[in-house]
Structure 1
Amino acid sequence: MSIYTVVEHPQLEAYLEQYSIGSLISFQGIEAGVENTNYFVTTTSGEYVLTLVESVTAEKLPFILGYVAHLSERNIAVAQPILNRQGELFGSLNERPAVFMRRLKGAPLDIPNQVQCSVIGHTLAASHQASAELAHDEFQHIYQWCSEVSARVLPELNDADKHLLQESVLAAGMIPWAHLPQGPIHADLFPDNALFDGDSLAGLIDFYHACSAPYLYDLAVTLNAWCYDEQQQHYDTDKASTLLNSYNAVRVLDDEEQQWLKAMQRVAALRFWLSRLRDKLFPKDGELITVKDPNGKKQLLEHLIKDQ
């Protein structure tokens, strides 16, 4: 659980006065998430999730929340923000942007099954089709991000990891980023960011990494996250085929995307290896902090390199 900003009962009671969602009964920190502070909140009118956004600035939230609202309008299952009494998508609590969403049914997945992989492939493709209707605001150059974070963590690594990192960043620069189809993407669609009720998708959550980037990168992140078991160090090719076939049934990858898919999966593994290294080597201050083991994504990257 990550709690960077502690909220006291009177503070939350006061903040709730800005919304028409009842009076506070109880709340508790959510035992998930790494970069934002999240609470389950129970009021006299229902169950909600409160997010204090730590990972991005308030200036980026109109893009993120507008993207979520657009997906909802296109009948894609997402957790949608609740407007406050002023008609705004978010407010401010303890000097942090604060977003209320209705708590969805279902639960995050640990190890997804074949059916759930098929559902997420279909949903991801539909989200990409929907996002193509939007402007490409908040573009993030993934390769540039990897290069910058690599320079920061490199001095702290052993020689073998330095070599792996340098070669992987160099390879990432060979991808024709600007030529690939792109638009707003989730960018962090791990199994714990999709709530399922059995094999039915209740909704996608945690869009706070959303940005404009190649759709292929979003697909690569999802394939890596849903098909690789970090504990067993096993990449499930059957799940990967199921997810990819389901994706292609909705939005067919073009020739260039198919050519660069495996390379993009290596970039996706690199990006999350780097973020975990950064969080471990340079932790942020907070009350309760979850830091994920970087070795899982490093081992995935090594596997994908051997499999190329």
Structure 2
Amino acid sequence: MTTEIFFSANMIGVLTNEQLQRMLDRFNLGNLISYQETSKGVGKQTLFVSTTSGDYVLKGNPLYEGQFKEEKFYVDNLNKLTNLPVSYPYIVDEQEDIFGWTYAIMPRLPGIHFTDQNQKEKLNKEEKKRIVELLVNCLCEMHQWKVEQYGEFDSKNQRIRPFESTYKTWLYNRIRYWLKDAEKYSVITSKDIEWVEDLLLSCEEAFDVLNSPTFVMGDFKADNVLVQRLTEDWKLSGIFDFTTGYFGDGIADLPRIVSMYIEDGEEELAKHFITAYFYRIESKETFIERFKVHMLHQRVLDWGCAKAIDNVTWDHNLSFSEWAQRYTDFVTSI
């Protein structure tokens, strides 16, 4: 289920002090002091919980069966294989007697979101570049987790389940599926479809020769990263939310950050992010082609979602291909 797309979530809803204390007692996590909703929580699925033993995050009411077991698999392995600041231990309770659903509880990570408006205004040019480099370091370390086959984690059988066909077929079919789905909410012209197919065809060989399955977070964005200011520098202090993780091409984790910088008018930071990542990876061949396809994939998802919920922030007169090409071609300008 890792590679399913979720445009909404099951909310935690209203909880009582008694329920939260029962949860804390079950895992010897102290006495409840307070709790509050998280400002960046996905679909209101998370809650900050403060106790006499520390600060925690409760994540409940799973999107699908096995969500938290799957996230635990990723967190446990990243904790073991890397030095990344993940929220460990990631405790999963599969019993439903307290809340009526399964849940996970984990230590709350320190730090701030560097995109918070009051924080962005304080950052100078060099600090912004430093944060870009922290993001690149994070990705490069995360992408060191290599496996033998492309696929997704099967929480029921506790193993990586290979994609039914090749990774390229899975990715290309996914792009076509969501482009077709976008027709429900927007105009997708024959010219748009032709442009997509031409791009996919021109990049096929890059994926045909690709053979290095890597852990992909699937949702690497500013909201899922925390940073902390030291005396004269910044450090990465947290990375979280692995709901959409799978094993594919690491470049797939770049588009969301690149798109963010482009949309914020900070194209130089987007270029710095791509360039710094490029020089750190071993497999530089076909980088441009792979980036274009992964960016196309992300643009298809973002277009369809924005159109479906009427949250379009760009010129309504732009066709899909006109809008998306700015992003897919961005890598060629570097």
Compute the TM-score of the two structures, normalised by the length of structure 1. 0.77
Secondary structure of 2:286's partner?
helix
Secondary structure of 1:42's partner?
strand
The match for 2:178 is: 149
% identical aligned pairs: 18
1:265, distance to aligned residue in structure 2 (A): 2.1
For residues 191 and 44 of structure 2, the distance between their equivalents in structure 1, rounded to whole angstroms, comes to: 30
The match for 1:25 is: 33
After TM superposition, which residue ranges in structure 1, 4 or more long, deviate above 4 angstroms?
88-93, 133-137, 161-165, 296-300, 305-308
The match for 2:281 is: 251
The match for 2:250 is: 215
For residues 5 and 15 of structure 1, the distance between their equivalents in structure 2, rounded to whole angstroms, comes to: 14
For residues 127 and 194 of structure 1, the distance between their equivalents in structure 2, rounded to whole angstroms, comes to: 13
**Aligned-residue CA RMSD (Å):** 3.2
CA-to-partner distance for each residue in 1:123-176, whole Å, 9 max, x for gaps?
1011101x204764416734333333333331331x4x5567635653564343
Q: Quick one: structure 1 residues 126 and 305, their matched pair in 2 at CA, closer, same or farther if it must change by over 3 Å?
A: closer
Q: Quick one: structure 1 residues 147 and 50, their matched pair in 2 at CA, closer, same or farther if it must change by over 3 Å?
A: same
Query: Is the 1:81–1:99 contact (alpha carbons within 8 Å) kept by the matching residues of 2?
Result: no
Query: Is the 1:81–1:89 contact (alpha carbons within 8 Å) kept by the matching residues of 2?
Result: no
CA-to-partner distance for each residue in 1:23-62, whole Å, 9 max, x for gaps?
222111112234451111111111111112544x233443
The match for 1:206 is: 241
Query: Is the 2:90–2:104 contact (alpha carbons within 8 Å) kept by the matching residues of 1?
Result: yes
CA-to-partner distance for each residue in 1:233-263, whole Å, 9 max, x for gaps?
x351x21232233324432333122443234
Largest Rg, 1 or 2 = 2
Secondary structure of 1:188's partner?
coil
The match for 1:132 is: 146
Query: Is the 2:62–2:103 contact (alpha carbons within 8 Å) kept by the matching residues of 1?
Result: no
The match for 1:187 is: 218
Q: Quick one: structure 1 residues 2 and 59, their matched pair in 2 at CA, closer, same or farther if it must change by over 3 Å?
A: closer
The match for 1:115 is: 130
Q: Quick one: structure 1 residues 122 and 5, their matched pair in 2 at CA, closer, same or farther if it must change by over 3 Å?
A: same
5+ residue gaps, structure 1: 282-292
For residues 137 and 101 of structure 1, the distance between their equivalents in structure 2, rounded to whole angstroms, comes to: 26
Secondary structure of 2:26's partner?
coil
Secondary structure of 2:73's partner?
helix
Compute the TM-score of the two structures, normalised by the length of structure 2. 0.72
